[in-house]
Chains A and B, each alone.
Chain A
Amino acid sequence: MAMKKPPRIKVPHSVRTGEVIEVKTLATHMMETGNRKDAEGNVIPRDIIHNFTAAFDGTPVFSAELGPGIAANPYIAFYLKVPGPGALTLTWRDDSGATTVERVELNVV
Chain B
Amino acid sequence: MLGAGALSLAAGLIETTAPAHAGERSAQYNAALRALLGAATPRDGGIELDLPDAVENGDYVPVALAVPSPMTAQDHVKAIHLLSTLNPRAHVATFRFTLLSGEARVTSRMRLAKTQDVVAIAELGDGTFLKALRRVDVKIGGCGI
Contact = CB atoms under 8 A, between A and B. Distances in A.
Interface of A: 20, 32-33, 35-36, 56, 59-72, 74-81, 83
A62 B98 contact: yes
B102 interface: yes
A62 B111 contact: no
Nearest to A75: B109
B102 A70 contact: no
Interface in B52-81: 59-61, 71
Given A71-B111, A74-B108, A65 B101 contact: no
A69 B84 contact: yes
Contact of B94 (A33, A64, A68, A81): A64
A64 B101 contact: no
19 contacts: A20-B102, A32-B144, A35-B144, A36-B143, A59-B100, A61-B101, A62-B98, A62-B100, A64-B96, A67-B91, A67-B93, A68-B111, A69-B111, A69-B112, A71-B111, A71-B142, A72-B60, A76-B108, A81-B102
A71 B63 CA distance: 11
A80 B87 contact: no
B140 interface: no
A83 B102 CA distance: 10
Contact of A74 (B88, B99, B109): B109
Given A35-B88, A74-B108, A81-B71, A64 B93 contact: yes
